[in-house]
């Protein structure tokens, strides 16, 4: 019989258990099936250990199920070398170590970034397939097929579910960092659904980046990503008003910000900025927002300088939109910022969703009321996140009341 303890364990520990069994067996499909069967057995078990230490019981049983499955399929002799590969050097214990091993496996160059993100959401964060499909704006059947194809590609690669070392670690690290950043971004503001984001996904991303810091403590981009995520997470409590609506940075209650995380993030950012990498520069920008006593006292000159460097290093549409928004806060620069957004919409159609929202905000601050209202209506029409749509609706109502 299922219990609240088991239900909570399933939600919290499923990704860790799948990662642990995948690392043990070298087979992601087998690990998923074994963990599911272990939970089924736990629900029917009268063993007191299930309630005393459910995670340990489930891990042990899932590994036994996996081995029994291999034996039944008469492939144990073939798979034994994969269980504990001789060439893999054990890595130091670190938070989320098994999940890190799984993350390095799914970040194979054989997969596209979207496939890596989908696998990471499913197996590293434990997000159900239906929710991943909604976030990535595809149907449930299509997402299930994508995940199946991606798992097949990993199996074809004969990858070991272990954190690599030496040159292999260095080669895979940039893709791992990009995936962790995407994980956090997806959890911070979901592309679809009623909720603004997922605290479970952002917490997992933070666990992973802390694990990476322990794994490669001298890597400046790892430090930069850790700083960026910590500083962003520190401001998360101020994103929601008391009535549950979204609060922009302009009106956020800064007394709710987590000063401990801000201090930790600033310490890392000060180290990482020496490397001049993408995540370090983003962390520097986030640090300036985090240390401003109020929105009116934000150092937009310094932020724009950092954005200039960021766009040189990482000329993505997202960085260019953010730079245009920052530039619009400089005296007399709002019209030029609008021109930059118009040009970007032409050269990067995929950025239209973000361009539209940025344009609406700039027009609002320029008091071009009718244009701003039309821009917010257009932005709301293409926005998949219910909480953000409600935010745009509130902006529209404010403009109509002027």
Q: How far apart are CA 287 and CA 273, in angstroms?
A: 11
| Segment among 163-172, 221-230, 289-298 with least mean pLDDT | 163-172
CATH at 318? 1.25.40
> Angle between the 28-44 and 140-157 helix axes, to the nearest 10 degrees?
120
- pLDDT for 6 equals 56
Nearest to 290, CA basis, from 305, 270, 312: 270
CB-based contact 361:325 (threshold 8 Å): yes
Domain of 347 in residue numbering reads as: 299-402
Residue 400 maps to a domain? yes
Residue 93: the pLDDT is 38
Q: 3-class DSSP state for residue 246? A: strand
Question: pLDDT tier at 50 (50, 70, 90 boundaries)?
Answer: low
Looking up tokens 């059947």 gives: 141
Number of domains in the chain: 2
Mean pLDDT score, 194-202: 91
pLDDT band, residue 1 (cuts 50/70/90): very low
What's the CA gap between 174 and 164, in Å, rounded? 13
DSSP track, 367-398? T-HHHHHHHHHHHHHH--BHHHHHHHHHHHHH
Asked if residue 275 is part of any domain, the answer here is: no
Contact between residue 164 and residue 172 where contact means Cβ atoms under 8 Å apart: yes
Determine whether 260 is exposed, middle or buried from the number of CB atoms within 10 Å of its CB (0-12, 13-18, 19+). exposed
C-beta separation of 379 from 349 below 8 A: no
Counting Cβ atoms within 10 Å, is residue 126 exposed (0-12), middle (13-18) or buried (19+)?
buried
| Comparison of pLDDT for 249 and 348, the residue scoring more | 249
Q: Enter the tokens of residue 367.
A: 């008091």
The pLDDT of 160-169, averaged and rounded, is: 86
The residue from 36, 68, 83 where one domain ends is 83
- Position 9 scores a pLDDT of 63
Residue 64 lies in a domain: yes
Say which residue, 244 or 74, is predicted with more confidence.
244
The DSSP bridge partners found for residue 240 are: 246
Band of residue 160 on the pLDDT scale cut at 50, 70, 90? confident
Question: Angle 245-251-318 (CA atoms, 0-180°, nearest 5)?
Answer: 85
Whether residue 123 lies inside any domain: the answer is: no
Task: Work out the mean pLDDT of the chain and round it to a whole number.
Answer: 87
Q: Is residue 176 part of a domain?
A: no
Domain assignment of residue 251, yes or no: no
pLDDT of residue 231: 98
Last residue of a domain, one of 57, 83, 109: 83
Q: Give the pLDDT confidence score for residue 227 in this predicted structure.
A: 98
How deeply is 337 buried, as exposed, middle or buried, from its count of CB atoms within 10 A (0-12, 13-18, 19+)?
buried
Q: Output the domain CATH number for residue 18.
A: 1.10.1740
**What percent of the chain stands above pLDDT 70?**
90
Q: Is residue 282's pLDDT more than 50? A: yes
The DSSP code for 92 is P
Handedness of CA 343, 346, 349, 352 (dihedral sign): positive
- For the stretch 366-388, pLDDT in tens is 999 999 999 999 999 999 999 99
Residue 92 has pLDDT above 60, yes or no: no
Confidence tier at 87 by pLDDT (50, 70, 90): very low
Number of Cβ within 10 Å of residue 144's Cβ equals 15
DSSP string, 288-345: HHHH-SSGGG--HHHHHHHHHHHHHH---HHHHHHHHHHHHTSTT-HHHHHHHHHHHH
Last residue of a domain, one of 53, 83, 113: 83
Q: Is pLDDT larger for residue 334 or for residue 77?
A: 334
Per DSSP, the three-state class of 66 is helix
pLDDT of amino acid 18? 87
Indicate whether 71 belongs to any domain: yes
Q: What b-and-e string marks burial along 46-77, b requiring 16 or more CB atoms within 10 Å of the CB? A: eeeebeeebeebbbebbbebbbebbeeeeeee
Residue 94 pLDDT more than 50? no
Residue 117 within any structural domain of the chain: no
Q: What share of the chain is helix, strand, coil (3-state, %, to 5)?
A: 75, 0, 25
* Percent of the chain whose pLDDT exceeds 90: 59
pTM (predicted TM-score): 0.85
Cα separation, 45 vs 128, whole angstroms: 25
As given in the structure block, the two tokens for residue 251 are 């009106």
């Amino acid at each position: 019989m299922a219990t609240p303890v088991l239900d909570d364990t399933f939600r919290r520990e499923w990704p860790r258990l799948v990662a642990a069994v995948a690392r043990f067996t070298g087979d992601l499909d087998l690990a998923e099936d074994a963990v599911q069967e272990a939970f089924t057995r736990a629900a029917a078990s009268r063993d007191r250990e299930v309630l005393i230490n459910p995670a340990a019981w489930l891990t042990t049983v899932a590994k036994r199920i996996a081995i029994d499955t291999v034996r039944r399929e008469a492939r144990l002799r073939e798979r034994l070398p994969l269980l504990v590969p001789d060439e893999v050097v054990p890595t130091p214990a670190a938070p989320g170590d098994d999940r890190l091993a799984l993350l390095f496996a799914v970040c194979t160059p054989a997969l596209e970034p979207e496939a890596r993100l989908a696998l990471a959401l499913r197996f590293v964060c434990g997000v159900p397939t239906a929710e991943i499909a909604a976030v990535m704006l595809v149907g449930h059947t299509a997402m299930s097929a994508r995940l199946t194809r991606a798992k097949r590609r990993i199996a074809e690669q004969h990858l070991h579910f272990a954190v690599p070392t030496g040159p292999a670690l260095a080669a895979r690290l940039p893709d791992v960092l990009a995936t962790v950043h995407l994980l956090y971004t997806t959890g911070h503001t979901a592309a679809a659904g009623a909720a603004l984001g997922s605290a479970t996904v952002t917490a997992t991303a933070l666990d992973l980046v802390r694990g990476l810091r322990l794994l490669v403590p001298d890597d400046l981009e790892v430090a930069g990503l850790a700083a960026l995520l910590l500083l962003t997470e520190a401001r998360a409590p101020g994103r929601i008003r008391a009535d549950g609506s979204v609060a922009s940075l302009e009106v956020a209650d800064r007394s709710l910000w987590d000063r401990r995380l801000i201090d930790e993030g600033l310490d890392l950012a000060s180290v990482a900025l020496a490397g001049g990498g993408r995540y370090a520069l983003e962390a520097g920008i986030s640090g300036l927002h985090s240390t401003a006593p109020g929105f009116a006292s934000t150092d937009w000159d310094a932020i724009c300088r950092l954005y200039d460097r960021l766009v040189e290093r990482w000329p993505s549409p997202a960085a260019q939109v953010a730079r245009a928004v920052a530039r619009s806060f400089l005296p007399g620069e709002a019209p030029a910022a609008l021109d930059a957004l118009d040009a970007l919409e032409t050269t990067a159609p995929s950025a239209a969703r973000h361009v539209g929202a940025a344009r609406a905000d700039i027009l609002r601050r320029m008091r071009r009321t009718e244009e701003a209202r039309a821009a917010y209506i257009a932005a709301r029409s293409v926005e998949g996140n219910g909480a953000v749509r409600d935010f745009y609706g509130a902006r529209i109502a404010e403009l109509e009341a002027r």
